[in-house]
Amino acid sequence: MNLIHNQTDSQIKLLGFEVLKRELGVVGFIRFMQQFDLGSGDYVNDRQEWQQGYTVDSLAEAIKTHHK
């Protein structure tokens, strides 16, 4: 194996991915990587926008309809 100090950051990252995949398996590697997804956008503003039309009555009706 090459010495780490002779490798670029990209090479070290790829080597790390290979080691993780080998040791954790594909599913474990994917689960590990998903922990570092920061997402994008503005969740607070997006949530306020899509919840804008909700009222207590409309939510209660949706719950009743769902449980029928």
Q: What is the pLDDT of residues 13-26, one digit of tens each?
A: 999 999 999 999 99
> Above 60 in pLDDT, residue 66?
yes
pTM of the entire structure? 0.48
Residue 2 has pLDDT above 60, yes or no: no
Q: Are 29 and 21 in contact (CB under 8 A)?
A: yes
Q: Give the span between the Cα atoms of 61 and 65, in whole angstroms.
A: 6
Three-point CA angle 1, 34, 39, nearest 5°: 125
28-58 confidence digits (pLDDT tens): 999 999 898 777 889 899 999 999 989 999 9
Q: Name the percent of the chain in helix, strand, coil, to the closest 5.
A: 70, 0, 30
